[in-house]
Every structure is written in structure tokens, then in C-alpha cells.
Amino acid sequence: MQCVTCWRTLPERPARYADFPEGLDPRIRAALGKRGIARLYTHQRHAIESAMAGRDIVVVTPTASGKTMCYNLPVLNAILKDESTRALYLFPTKALSSDQVAELYSLIEEMGVDVKAYTYDGDTPAAARTAVRLAGHVVVTNPDMLHQGILPNHTHWVKLFENLKFVVIDEIHSYRGIFGSNLANLLRRLKRICAFYGANPTFICCSATIANPKELAETMLERPVELVDDNGAPSGKKHVIFYNPPVINRQLGIRAGSIPETRRIAEGLLKNDIQTIIFARSRLTVEVMVKYLKEITRDPLGAAGRVRGYRGGYLPTQRREIERALRAGEITVVAATNALELGIDIGQLQACLLCGYPGTIASTWQQAGRAGRRNGESLMIMVATSSPLDQYIISHPDYFFGQSSEKALINPNNLYILLNHMKCAAYELPFEKGETFGAVESTGEILAYLADQYILREVNGRYYWMAEEFPQAGINLRSASDQNFVIIDITNPQNHRVIGEMDRFTVPMLLHKFAIYMHEGRQYQVEELDFDDKKAYVRHVDVDYYTDANLSTSLKVLDEFESRPSG
């Protein structure tokens, strides 16, 4: 216990209920009744009532508090009243989209009504896209697909835009920085096209706990937003433990590593069959953890399947299979990056281990919320690394527990981002002279500049797109490369198979020639890296080491022009 710097117990919180709002369709009530839901939580009632009244809202409650019902119920209620009603759901990731569509379909089936909800993303077959455009009451997509696939082709989506009553933006707290600034401009383009077709949808935003949810939503939407934060969902007792690894060299002040200490704690949880999620800061740490834990569970019954990894780079089919196995209780320990931080339903977990401080108070509570999602007692242990930030947090628990979550900040009027989206907006619809792009006061100056650059052409008081390129293709909303490398296992010469993928920026660090690449705890040596075809060829090996990139930076003074004493 000498390494435990803090052990706090957060008390359980009882549920606070409210009756269904007036005007909610009896078929929805009956379907919820089949699930044993006779009343709503107070925040659900507040959100549903406001959305049904046409007010824009942002719902801010912890993980597993039933936010999904805050948008599904008003949307379904409107569709049941008028079958021409359409809704657009935006999720930051494909995994979250798939998860929420499954939940929506389940409710629709229990209602026994003909409401069609479709996912529209890069994996949607070409043959199915026409049906989505014409028949989908609820279209579930992500910002990237809205940007490149839907808005530029809005003439194919007339039925959606003419009847669009609701736009749902889930996990709005994840849209910060460049991604959030891009989304704000994407929403300006969306509202502009909606206005063209005579629609004025209600926006329903959902967020985890952050310091400024109302401010973020209002900056994003450029209109007043009602805050719904009166959480009525119950929560079980949660034990929060801060663990600082023991000092192993007092002269140098060196502590034991966070990875072996996290592994040791995880071993105890695994042996006691406590379903656990381990969050790590890097892909490599995830794989090292998986390999260590799989080694201690090897037995003739194949118990190694109880330990899995989850991170970016796994194939979509593999990630879906891991999510299913988690929900079914087939996996005891999963090691993951923050890819599992968002609200994907992974069932009942009892413990959460953090290998290092996640970097923000908001992320820490978001990850801790993955354990005890459906009531019941739960445990969160944060194991500190040797970094100064980790050591400060672990040594000053009162600071951590006394601070609110950080703010999510965006700058939609960043000129570089704004200029790119105004090009896209002009491609989608001509600008009228005097029209403003959202609340941008300098719209006219920017349009005149684009006309001077022969990108737009002014004719009879309208600015038309005249450049040859497709402007949407030049914008990556997430500021990351969309050029992924495919990882191919060539161990069996007769059966080469794709085992994963990796973004271009990470490839030089983890997939350089002769690197040891780890995937689900298995080791592969990189035999060849083909930059032209964006392929990495790997072969399974069994070695007692792994490789990691040295990212240290050294500075050298080349010249000195002036100096003065400090202070």
C-alpha cells in the first residue's frame, strides 16, 4: 500500500426519474416497456421535451447515462407523426456509427414500424447508396462523408434536405482544435444547403463532461443552445486509486516502469476473472501489454482468447469482433488506446487500469467511466509513469479531484480553414452578393479575393465556381493523412493476408525495415516497406525484443547574435 498515493471512494448515486413527455407516440412507450423502461431519467425527459419543441440542445452527462435516448426518441416520434421526416446523425468514428445504428434498429424492430435507418460511409456498397438517399428516414454518417460525399452531391439528396428536421451530433466534446474548427465550417455549409431547400433542422448535441459544453455548441452552431445537464442516471460506487510505482534506485530517483507495474496489477484482475479494460497512451504499449498477459494465460483450453488488444490499425472486421466479444463477456482483459474512450457499447466492465495519466482530466474521467457502465461497484487504478506531469498528478490528488474538466476550444474563423470551406461552399451553391457564410463578416472580401484568383467568377451579382479541381478533396478534416499503408503478412508464401493498416505519419516510426511490429500480441518483422504502393510486408517471428522509434530531439547552437542577463 506504500505506493498508493490516493484511494477515494465515490459514493453510489440513485436514479432520478420523470414521466414520459406529453405527445410521445404510444408505440415508442410500448417498445420501451418491453425493455422494462416505464419512466425516463430526468435529463432524458428534459432533452426529449426540448427537442420535440424544436429547441437546439446540448446534453452533458457522464458515460452510460442514456444519452442515446435523448435523440432517438424525438427523432422516431417525429417520423411516426410524418413519414416524410428525415434526420441526419453525425458520429466521429465508423465504429460509433455502427454501434448506434444497431441500437436504433433494435428499438425500431420492437416498435414494429417501417422506419429505415442506414449507415452511409466509405464501407457502404455502391448498390445500396441509392436506397439510402431515397428511402432512409435516418442517415447515419461521419463528418468526412458529409464533407466529401453528401454536401457536394446535395442534388442527389433532395429528399433528405427538403425534409430534414433533426441533426444529431454525438460526442461533440471530441471535436476540438482543427477537427472541431473544420466541423464548425462544415455545419455552416450544411445549414446553407438546408436553407436552400427550405429546411431549418433542430440540432441535438451530446457531450461527455467538459468545462464549456454550451459555449462549444453555440460556437459550433452559431445559434443559442439549451444546456441539459441535470443528470438523473444512477451510478454505482467507484473506487479511484492512484498508484506510483516503487523507487528502485534511490540515488538516481528511478522508479519501476509503468508498463510492468500495470501488467502485474492486470494479472491479479485476470486471475480473479474481473473484466478489465487497460488504457495505454501508445499502440506499442497496447501490444506489449497484450503479449505479456497472453503469455500467462496460455493453456490447453485456449484461454489466451480472454486477452485482446484494441487500437487504430486493426481491420474494421477485427474491431467489430472484439466489441462483440466484450459485450458477450468472452474477453476478460482488453488493452486499448483511446480508440475505446468514446461511447461504443462494450458491455459490463468492472475495472479500468490507466497506464499513465491520459493527459487531461476530461479524458481520465471518460476512460474511468468505461468501468461500471451499468451500475454496480467498479474500480479505476491510474499507474503513473515517470513523466513530470504524471508525477505531479499522482502526488497532488486534491488538484485532480478539485479541478473541473478542461475546455474544448475551436476557432472556426481561422483564415486558412475558413477559406478552404468557402471554396467548398461555392462549389456546392453559388454565393449571392451580400450573402454571409454563417456569421463571417468578411465573406464579401473573401469572395472578391477568390474571384481575383480565378477560383470564382462573378456574374450578375452571383459568385460561381470556375476552377477545375474538386475543392473537397484538398481538405482533411482531422489534419491527419488519409493515405493509409496496408500491412501484409507474408509468412505463408501461398496465402498472403492483410492484417492491419497504419497512417502515413506513423509508418516511419513503427514499420521501418527490420522493425518488430506487434499485432494482437504476435510479433512480425518488417521485410519490406513499399512507399509507392503504400504496403508493408511482414513475417511472423518469435523474438525476445521489440523495437521503438527514438523520437528525442537534440538542439545545437549554431551562432549567437546577442545576449543579455536573465531577470
Domain that holds residue 488: 482-567
In the chain, the N- to C-terminal Cα span, in Å, equals: 44
Stretch 234-245: mean pLDDT, rounded? 94
pLDDT of 453-494, one tens digit each? Answer: 999 999 999 999 999 899 998 888 875 455 689 999 999 999
Residues 486 and 469 in one domain: no
Residues 70 and 217 in one domain: yes
Measured CA distances, 338 to 68, 286, 456 (Å): 21, 11, 42
The confidence score (pLDDT) of residue 479 equals 56
| Percent of the chain predicted with pLDDT > 70 | 97
Q: What is the 3-state secondary structure (H, E, C) of 456-511?
A: EEEECCEEEECCCCCHHHHCCCCCCCCCEEEEEECCCCCCCEEEEEEECCCHHHHC
Residue 464 has φ and ψ, to the nearest 5°, of -110, 150
Distance CA 33, CA 255 (A): 55
Residue 408 inside a domain? The answer is no
**343 vs 447, residue with greater confidence:** 447
Residues 396 and 432 in one domain: no
Residues 289 and 338 in one domain: yes
Q: Rounded to two decimals, what is the model's pTM?
A: 0.87
Residues 207 and 190 in one domain: yes
The confidence score (pLDDT) of residue 316 equals 81
Residue 9 inside a domain? The answer is no
pLDDT of 3-39, one tens digit each? Answer: 999 999 999 999 999 999 999 999 999 999 999 999 9
Name residues whose C-beta falls within 8 Å of residue 186's C-beta, 6 or more positions apart in sequence. Answer: 143, 146, 147, 151, 421, 477
Q: Which of 474, 492, 513 is the last residue of a domain?
A: 474
Name residues whose C-beta falls within 8 Å of residue 120's C-beta, 6 or more positions apart in sequence. Answer: 129, 132, 136, 139, 140, 141, 145, 149, 150
Distance CA 148, CA 152 (A): 6
Stretch 98-118: mean pLDDT, rounded? 90
Nearest C-alpha neighbor of 101 from the set 73, 128, 126, 68: 68
Residues 115 and 204 in one domain: yes
Stretch 380-405: mean pLDDT, rounded? 95
Residue 2 inside a domain? The answer is no
Beta strands in 356-427 (DSSP E): 378-383
Residues 182 and 199 in one domain: yes
263: which 3 cell numbers?
Answer: 501488467
Using pLDDT thresholds of 50, 70 and 90, give the confidence band for residue 301. Answer: very low
| Percent of the chain predicted with pLDDT > 90 | 73
Measured CA distances, 450 to 39, 125, 186, 486 (Å): 55, 36, 19, 38
| CB 116 within 8 Å of CB 135 | yes
Residue type present at position 37: I
Residues 109 and 254 in one domain: no
Using pLDDT thresholds of 50, 70 and 90, give the confidence band for residue 300. Answer: very low
Residue 12 inside a domain? The answer is no
The confidence score (pLDDT) of residue 212 equals 95
Residue 374 has pLDDT above 70, yes or no: no
Stretch 299-316: mean pLDDT, rounded? 74
> Where do we find the cell 508525477?
391
Residue 33 inside a domain? The answer is yes
Residue 321 inside a domain? The answer is yes
Q: Which of 402, 425, 447 is the last residue of a domain?
A: 402
Q: Which of 443, 474, 505 is the last residue of a domain?
A: 474
285: which 3 cell numbers?
Answer: 504499449
Residue 299 has pLDDT above 70, yes or no: no
Using pLDDT thresholds of 50, 70 and 90, give the confidence band for residue 43. Answer: very high
The confidence score (pLDDT) of residue 503 equals 83
Residues 561 and 495 in one domain: yes
Using pLDDT thresholds of 50, 70 and 90, give the confidence band for residue 373. Answer: low
Residue 120 inside a domain? The answer is yes
Residues 467 and 491 in one domain: no
**Poorest-confidence range of 205-209, 216-220, 287-291, 340-344?**
340-344
Query: How much is the mean pLDDT over the chain?
Result: 91
Are β-strands 117-119 and 238-243 bridged in parallel, bridged antiparallel, or unpaired?
Answer: unpaired
pLDDT of 199-225, one tens digit each? Answer: 999 999 999 889 999 999 999 999 999
Residues 441 and 313 in one domain: no
Give me the helix-helix angle, 94-111 and 316-327, nearest 10°.
Answer: 50
The confidence score (pLDDT) of residue 439 equals 94
Residues 424 and 529 in one domain: no
| Structural domain count, the chain | 4
Residue 102 inside a domain? The answer is yes
The confidence score (pLDDT) of residue 482 equals 54
Q: What pairs with residue 249 in β-bridges?
A: 254
Distance CA 305, CA 270 (A): 12
Residue 98 has pLDDT above 90, yes or no: no
The confidence score (pLDDT) of residue 370 equals 86
Q: Specify which of 131-135, 367-371, 422-426, 475-479 reaches the highest per-range mean pLDDT.
A: 422-426
Residue 551 has pLDDT above 80, yes or no: no
Q: What is the CATH number of the domain that holds 259?
A: 3.40.50.300
